[in-house]
Amino acid sequence: MADDISSFWGPVTSTKEWCEPNYVRSSYIAEFFNTISNVPCIILALIGLVNALRQRFEKRFSVLHMSNIILAIGSMIYHATLRQMQQQGDETPMVWEMLLYFYILYSPDWHYKSTMPTFLFLYGALFAIAHSQIRFDIGFMLHYALLCLLCVPRTYKYYIHTEDRSAKQIAKFYVATLLVGAVCWLCDRLFCKDISRWYFNPQGHALWHVLMGFNAYFANTFLMYCRAQQREWNPKIKHFLGFFPYVKIQKPKAQ
C-alpha cells in the first residue's frame, strides 16, 4: 500500500505492493515485516549449505543452498525499497532457482548431459534480459507457476520410490508448508482491504516468507536424500538441535 510519506528510496515503482503500510517503522524500510521475514530462509539455507559442504555433496546442492540465500536477500531488498529494479532482482532469481531444481530433478536420467545445463543457462539468461526490459506481472506469476508444476511429476516419483519414513515425512512437511504458505499469500493478496481494517494485521506475506524458508529447506533436504540414494551413499535422516532434519551419508572409500 503506497503511503504519501517521506522515504529514503523515493516513490514506489514496483508493479506489486503487499498488505503492509509503507515506511511505518523506518524511512529506510518500506515493508518492515516483509523484509525481516526473509531472515529465517537465510539461516536455514546456511544450515543446509554447511551440511552439503561438510559431507562433500555434489556442488549442485551447495549452489542450490546459496541460491536460496541470494533469493532471500533479493526479497529483502525488494520489500525494503519497493522499486522496480529491486523487484526484478527478486523475481529473476526465483526463476533461476526453479531452473536449478529442474536440473537436479531431471538430470540423473538425462542421456545428453551437456545439453540440459546449456539449455537451462541460456533460458535463464534470456529470461533475465527480457525481464529487465519488460514489466511482467500476471505473466511472471503464470510463468513461475508453470516451472513449479513441471517439477511436480519428478518429485512425486522420488517420493513414491522412497522407503525411509523419515525422508517421506520431510516430503510431507514440504507439501504442508507450501499449501499453508499459499493460503497466507492468497489471503494477503485478495483480502487486503478487509485486513487493513483489522486491529491486528496477521502479515500473511511475511508468513509466506517464513514458510517458504522452511519449504525450501525441506525440499533441499529431501532431494539430497534422494540423490544420496542414487549414488548409493547409505543416507540417513538425522536432526540438528533435535529439530532440523539433515542427511547423513557414508560414501564408499573409493569416493
Q: Which of 209, 236, 219 is nearest to 156 (CA)?
A: 219
Helix extents (H) in the chain: 32-36, 39-54, 59-81, 84-106, 115-133, 138-160, 165-190, 192-195, 204-230
Cell of 187: 489471503
Q: Is 31 annotated as a binding residue?
A: yes
Cell of 28: 529506510
Give the gyration radius of the chain's Cα atoms.
Answer: 19
33/205 Cα distance (integer angstroms): 9
Residue type, 204: G
Q: Is 20 annotated as a binding residue?
A: yes
Phi-psi domain of 142 (left: phi exceeds 0; alpha: psi -120 through 50; beta: other) = alpha
In this structure, what DSSP letter does residue 5 have?
A: S
Q: Is 239 annotated as a binding residue?
A: no
Residues 226/158, Cβ–Cβ less than 8 Å: yes
10/34 Cα distance (integer angstroms): 18
Q: Which of 163, 176, 215, 202 is nearest to 41 (CA)?
A: 215
Strand pairing of 244-248 and 236-240? antiparallel
CA distances, 47 to each of 52, 105, 147, 218 (Å): 9, 21, 26, 12
Q: Is 205 annotated as a binding residue?
A: yes
Q: Which residues are annotated binding-site positions for Zn(2+)?
A: 79, 205, 209
Q: Which residues are annotated binding-site positions?
A: 18, 20, 22, 31, 79, 205, 209
Q: Which residues are annotated binding-site positions for Ca(2+)?
A: 18, 20, 22, 31
